[in-house]
Every structure is written in C-alpha cells, then in structure tokens.
Structure 1
Amino acid sequence: MIKVLELPADKDLAELSRELWVRKIGHQIRQSETKQEIFLANPKDYPELLALVQDWQNGTLAYTIEPEKDPSEGLREGWAAMKQWPLTAIILLISGLITALISFEPNPNWLAHFTIVPFEQVNRGLAYLPLWPTLQGGEIWRLITPVFLHFGIMHLIFNSLWVWEMGRLIERQQSSGHLAVLFLVSGVIANLAQYIVGDILFGGLSGVVYALLGYCWFWDRFAASPQFFIRKPVFIILLVWLVFCLVGGTSMLGFGEVANAAHIAGLVSGSLWALISVKLSGKNRSNMRSY
C-alpha cells in the first residue's frame, strides 16, 4: 500500500470509506491525534479517489447502491478467492474438513492419526509412543498435522478469521511461497514446543496465527519499506489475549486449557523469521542509504 492523502483528524471518513469499498477501491485509513492518512492498495485508483474526496468534501458524493447478489455469486467469489489466495484457502479447507471428521466420530480413531504422536485409550488413561520413535517409523506428517485440529466450532472460527486476514495479506504482498515456508516452520516449532511441555492432545492454528502476526508486524519494522500495515490495536489485542491465556483466564471462563507454549513459540518464530527474511532479501533498513 502507498500513502496518497492526508486529512484532518476530526473528519469522519466512514461514508467516504464505505463508498470506496463499494467501488472496490482497496484502501486503509490510519489515524493519529493530528491527522488521518489514506493508503491505496492500487495506485491506479488514485484519480478516482481524488474525485470522490472532492465530491465528499463538497457534499455531493453520489452513493453507489450495492446490487442484490445472485445466489450463485457466493460460489463464484469462493472460487475466485481460491485462485487469488490458494494457500490460505487450502489451509482453512483442510482445517475445516479434519475438524468435522474428528467431531462426528464416536471413537478417537481419526484423531489419533493427526495428533503429534499416536495414542490409544487403555482403561481410563492413554497409551502413546514418544515422538522420536514415531518419526523414525516414517510418520513425519505428525510434526504439522496438529495445527489442523480444532475442538469446537468457535475454536475453528476464531483461528480461521485471523488466518484468513493475515494469510491473504502475506500472499498478496509477497507470495504463496513465503506463506508456505512461514506456515510450515512456525507450525512445526509451535507443535514441538507444546509437546515439550508435556502435551500430546492439543491442536489448532493459534500458534500459526501468532506467527503470522509476528511476521507481519516485525517485517514492517525491520524492512525499509513496510508492506503489511497491521494496526497497532490489533497487535495489542492479540498480545493481551496471549497474556490472558497464560494467566489461566480461559480456564476461569470455562473455555478449557489453551496451548500457551504453541502461542509463544509461534509468535517468537514468526518474529525471528521476519528478521531473517528481511536480511536475506537485502531490504532491511540498515542497507538503505540516503543521498
């Protein structure tokens, strides 16, 4: 995104922003105490943006009425999203399918195929193999598959929304390859961290969510040219949620235990990967000289 316009902080830009979205002009509004800045996703939209701002300031902005959607349009939009952000869509699709599969089986047979180590119920407890013999036996997929496991619809929805937002951002601003590497690295590290603290029955994309957050946030701070523009309140909210989970807040609310080690490992791995990626790309701020 590129900054194209500054406006006073006391102006309400809600109507202008709505009209821009209706016209499919991708943008972001960043506000401080003294000003509001409009960033455009596509510089080609700049002339139309200026015309709309002038109409809005003159009170003559013509609002576009959104047409009623054809029922089949949702399918076309879904297919378009698959083509535009294929890896993000695939990650969420696999998560949904596996979560549905383990939710409707009476016994945890399928679940045992996706946990970090295989297990079976013995009397009132669990019997399972350690990780290293499991990997030696060829079941390498277990290093990543726990990220696709979710133990409830709200768990799945919460994680999916964040992956959808930040995964698409990385695919759009960089590439599907960048997202694939980050997903695999952070997913494996988050799963191993949770296993090391003594858990085998855990799952979810939360560790990956925090890796995406750390990657986007710290890329913009390490690189000479920011790309993601994650809002500070979003970063703070997710950090507050992480701390809330660490102190047992979810248990007190009756939501059960949370894979805190996976959250922390995801955030750390994503942040470090941002630093490594910026260094490898040669786009870090220390490499940029002013003339």
Structure 2
Amino acid sequence: MIKVLEVPLEQDLSELSQELWARRIGHRINEHNGHQEIWLADPAYFPELLQLLRDWQQGQLTHTINIKPRASIGKQIEMGFRQWPFSLLLIMVSTLITAAIFLLSSDQLLSMLTIVPVVLQGSQLIHGDLSTVLQQGELWRLLSPMFLHFGWLHLAFNCLWIWELGRLIETEQCSKKLLVVVLVSGLVANLSQYMMGDVLFGGLSGVVYGLLGYCWFWDKFARTPLFFVRKGVFIALMIWLVFCWLGGSAVLGLGNVANAAHIGGLIAGSLWAWIALKIFGEGRPNSRRI
C-alpha cells in the first residue's frame, strides 16, 4: 500500500470510502498524528481517487450501484485459495491432523509428529532425544509439533488468529513472506519449548505470536507501515501470554500451555521483521503525498 492523501481529523470520509469500495478500489483509512491518512493498495487508481475526491468535495459524487451475485461456496473457497493459499493450507492441515488423531485414536500418528518419538508405557512416558532424531534425518519433527492440537477449542483459537494475521501478511506482502515467518517462528517456538524439558506439546500458538510480533514490529520499524494491527489486539494477546505464564490457564481448567513456545515465537517473529527491514532493506517507502 502507498499513502496518497492526508486530511484533517474532523472530516468524515465514510461517503468517499463507500464509493471507493463500490468501485473495488482497495484502500485503508487510519488516524496518525492528528490527521487521517488514505492508503491505496494499487497506485494505478491514484488518478481516479483524485477525481472522486474533487467530486466529493463539490458535493457531486456519483454513487456506484454495486449489486453482486453471491458466489457459491465452491467459488468462495477457490477465491480464498487464490488470495490466501498458505493461511488456508495451515488451517486445513492442522484440522485434518487433529481430526485424524482424535477420531482414529492414532498414537502412532501422534508419535510421528512430536518433536521426538514418544510412547506411553503404563503411566510412564518414554521418549527419544533430539540429537538422535536429527542424526536419523527426521528433520520434519522440528516443525511438525505446530500441527498438533490437544482439543478442538485449542485448534479453533489458533486457526482464528492464523486466519486473521496470516491473511494480513499474504494480502499486504505475499505468501512467500508468510511462509518464511511461519518457518522461522515455528522452528524457534518448538525448540524453545523442547529446551524447557517438554516433549509432548504442540499447536500453532507459537506461530500466532510470531505473526503478531512480525506485523506489530514491522509497522514500528518500517518507514511505511503495512499491517495496522490494532493496539487492543496486541495488548490482549500480551495479557493472555502473561496470564498463561503465571499459571492462569491451569486455574481455568485449560491445562498446561506451551509458554516457552509463545515467547520464542514472539521473539522470532519480531526479530525477523527487524532483519527484513534493517539487513535485507525491505519496506522502503514508495509513496506520493498531496
């Protein structure tokens, strides 16, 4: 997105925004330093925006009647995979694996996806070690725990945030960027939890915090922000992280939480945003201001 316009805070831009959406012109309006900013997804629409702005200021804005037929479910899924393929893939794989483990009671599948092999003998958990796993070439185990969920509520919570934050990165950047953030944050999250002495853990929570850290600190470090994650969302997830770290999840009957994975993912995602901006030189401003 590029910033194309600044207007006073007291101006009501709702009518102009509705017309832009009616014409399928992607944009965003946000408040910054006492004024409103209009950002365009595609700079090619800049001349049309200027004309609409003049018409709007003169009270001559012609409203577009935009009645679109409702797409079928199949068409909606197809469009979703075109726009956010990796976000949907993460959700689908996690759901299918969780369903297979619960419905088939497959301890073998569970053991294949934990960071090291685990076997329950009576009441004792027998497990391997990471060095042996790596020597045997089972490298997928460094990432596969993120697809394990130990309850449907756990799965739904994580998928909701993958849907929100993952789509945001794919929309504003691309699927490859999302893939990199997921790999980095997932790897660090899993290793962080393993270093705490845990072997039976899983979930996309570490990745969720990685995506949150990436989006939030990208906008903090970059000259041109992209994601505009609401401050309330960031604070709420930070409160949840601290609450779980202090044992609040156990008090609520939600069981143990992989706190080290959450923190590891958050640090990894935040650090990756800094590396992409400061070392790789991404996020340089490319905007026009009038």
Q: Same fold (TM over 0.5)?
A: yes
Once the two structures are superposed, the pairs formed by residues 1-150 of structure 1 within 5 Å of their partners are 1-10=1-10, 17=17, 20-21=20-21, 23-31=23-31, 34-46=34-46, 49=49, 55=56, 58=59, 62=63, 64=65, 66-70=67-71, 72=72, 74-150=73-149
Specify the SS of the correspondent of 1:97: helix
% identical aligned pairs = 52
Q: 8 Å contact 1:222–1:278 — kept in the other structure?
A: yes
SS of residue in 2 equivalent to 1:31: strand
Within 5 Å, give how 1:212-251 maps onto structure 2.
212-251=211-250
Deviation at 1:18, TM superposition (A): 5.3
Figure out how many residues of one structure are paired with residues of the other and give that number.
Answer: 283
User: Can you list the C-alpha shifts for 1:162-218, whole angstroms capped at 9, x where unaligned?
Assistant: 222322333343333332222212111100111111222211111111111212222
Q: Does the CA-based 8 Å contact 1:222-1:284 persist in structure 2?
A: no
**Which residue in the other structure is 1:194 paired with?**
193
Tell me which residue corresponds to 1:206: 205
Q: Which has the higher contact order (CA 8 A, sep 6+)?
A: 2
Root-mean-square deviation (Å) = 2.9
| Contact in 1 for aligned 2:52/2:61 (Cα 8 Å) | no
1:15 CA displacement: 6.3
- Following superposition, the deviation at residue 269 of structure 1 comes to 0.8
Helix, strand or coil at the partner of 1:79: helix
Provide the TM-score with structure 2 as the length reference: 0.83
Cα pair distance change 1:284/1:36, threshold 3 Å: closer
What is the CA distance between 1:225 and its match in structure 2? 3.1
Q: TM-score, normalised by structure 1?
A: 0.83
Residue of structure 1 in register with 2:150 after alignment = 151
Unaligned runs of 5+ in 2: 285-290
Counterpart CA distance in 1 for 2:138 and 2:123 is 26
Moved more, 78-87 or 182-191: 78-87
**AA at the equivalent of 1:69:** R
Distance 1:147 1:41, change over 3 A: same
Cα pair 1:99 1:149 within 8 Å, conserved: yes
Structure 1 pair 25/237, CA: closer, same or farther in 2 (3 Å)? farther
